Amino acid sequence: MGIVPGGDSGRGMEAVVVAVALLLLQLSSAMASTDDGVGGEEKYKDPRQPLSVRVEDLLRRMTLAEKIGQMSQIDRENATAGVIGGHFIGSVLRGGGRVPAPGAPPQAWVEMVEEIQRAAMSTRLGIPVVFGIDAVHGHGYAYGATVFPHNVGLGCTRDPELAKKIGAAVALEVRATGIPFIFAPCVAVCRDPRWGRCYESFSEDPKLVQQMASIISGFQGEIPARGGRRGAPFVAGQRSVAACAKHYVGDGGTTGGVNENNTVATFHDLLRVHMPPYYSAVIQGVSVVMVSYSSWNGVKMHANRFLVTDVLKNRLRFRGFVLSDWLGLDRITNPEHADYLLSVKLGILAGIDMVMIPYTYTEFIDDLTLLVQNGTIPMSRIDDAVRRILRVKFTMGLFEHPYADTSLAGELGKQEHRDLAREAVRRSLVLLKNGKSGDRAPLLPLPKKAGSILVAGSHADDLGSQCGGWTIAWQGLTGNNLTVGTTILDGIRRAVDPATDVVYAKNPGAGYLRQNKARFDYAIVVVGEAPYAETAGDNRNLTIPAPGPSVIQTVCGSVKCVVVLVSGRPLVVEPYVGVVMDALVAAWLPGTEGHGVADVLFGDYGFTGKLSRTWFRSVEQLPMNVGDAHYDPLFPFGFGLETQPSTA
């Protein structure tokens, strides 16, 4: 049975039917406030009961309105007590840059989350809301949080244990603000650096991404050796968070690296390249999987029942819940939201359990109610979705601990986490060149004791640029007044001998260099990309943004220099690397601990990072990945020069 939606009178009559049905459901809920309608002991409230017993006991007490409410995730901007209680909302997200207040301390976040939770707990059944937030490289939206290197840099460490430690630290910082659920990690296998989300990917190599997915066990805690069921969600307690593997599946393989585009691949290649990280995620008990905006061979992932239900839920035996992306159902149609009733039908039948509907939640609730009442979507599909959502909430301990542990407030930005981030920066740096041909000695490590050194470039003294996207704001911001951290320039000044004169000139002209080049022992040029996220980061040419190239040419043409490139992916460097640069370091997007860069430049630690991505010569070669038949990179996958710590 199906529905042909449209703007005719039939749709108007259907709307009346829905309104009457909702009124009856609300009346039923009100009557049930003194009698739950099923009688007997409320086993779902008893933590001594088996998980399955608690889930089924609660599920049988719920009305259709309460079930559909659990399937709804709205933006916190709309999460008033009336909306939460009136629609039985199951989840709230903090989206798009909205924070309690600029520079808000942990307690302000906690109060925001708990106000929402109190509304949920006051409903008839008292089902807690699960509040979620993006924390793709630390709790980046929170002022003062530790911002770790983005995944592209972490992949260069090739250290799953380090990733796990970072996950645990991020979990504590998120919990410090009262939030128990994060939309991370991104386990995409980025096959084309032109993609604006490539820095969210650990690598182009599925095996490396699979290994670095160990960060999930950091976020959620390790499943005990004895106990646990494959595919079942697992969260260790109030010091851990529920994680979300995203974006299922193939988002890193779209044609031309265009965000939300079509991934053309055989099923065998999809399994070989893009699916392995999800095997690891499921084995580690990941709580949630988020569906990708992208398509597979022309079929939108949000409408792909084969991959969401048959493969993920049935073959991989994933027992957590499947979440849509932001307005993901709307984007099933082109233009967006052109036939929302159809989109809801396709998405829910595909196997999506919770729908991210930041604003149009009433339309979603009304349409899904109609689709159930007229038999288009069977009640068994609704029950499967709600069963999965409740399973995650019980596993998280939300029913026993719906509110924040305020003793964790000091975890946000604590020194131990900053030290860990600084280590991650050191180990993610990749040394691509060290000395010109014919030089008797490599340039790096740099001497700390010098008469005068020049530091130049747009990214040397810009905390926002070195953090990149998903920091304070969705697209990221430039500047040093955004959050707490150390710029690369700060790190250099702290690292050198007190007698060394550090001169900073953001964009020194040729005249300045002619007059002063004899003054400088060497120069450090730090340039790179401006912050971006998602589609805004799609880039067809991948050149170093201006004035970076001219700064490189001007400074390195006059003074012995090392170029530090701050970027979310490899960029075109061949015109400079063989001519003017004495040394080249890929620093990726290091986050708030910029002194980690100085630690290695000056030899307190050696360079150890290895490329997690192929470094191309020109964009005409793309996509080009390790193992391709025609593989002619500037620097191959796995490349990275090493240095020893300085003994000076």
φ/ψ of 424, rounded to 5, equals -60, -40
Question: How far from 620 is each of 256, 457, 568, CA to CA, in Å?
Answer: 11, 28, 19
Q: What is the C-alpha separation between 135 and 243, in angstroms, rounded? A: 10
Q: Residue 42 catalytic?
A: no
Q: Which residues contact residue 592 at a Cβ distance below 8 angstroms, ignoring those fewer than 6 apart? A: 138, 146, 147, 418, 421, 463, 466, 467, 483, 484, 485, 486
Q: Give the whole-angstrom CA distance, residue 203 versus residue 189.
A: 6
Catalytic one among 260, 325, 330, 593? 325
Look up 77 and say whether it is catalytic.
Answer: no
Structure tokens at 35: 């009698």
- Amino acid letter, residue 241: V
User: Alpha helices, DSSP H only, in 123-183?
Assistant: 151-157, 160-175
User: Of the listed 57, 192, 353, 534, which one is catalytic?
Assistant: 534
The values of phi and psi at residue 56, to 5°, are: -70, -35
DSSP 122: T
Q: Please give the structure tokens belonging to residue 255.
A: 């044609």
Helix (H) or strand (E) holding 556: helix 548-556
Given a contact cutoff of 8 angstroms between Cβ atoms, the answer to whether 127 and 54 are in contact is no
Angle, helix 379-396 to helix 51-61, in steps of 10 degrees: 130
The pair of three-digit structure tokens given for residue 53, joined into one six-digit string: 């017993």
Tokens representing 474?
């969705």
Sign of CA dihedral 84, 85, 87, 88: positive
Q: How many CB atoms lie within 10 A of CB 14?
A: 18
**Known catalytic residues?**
325, 534
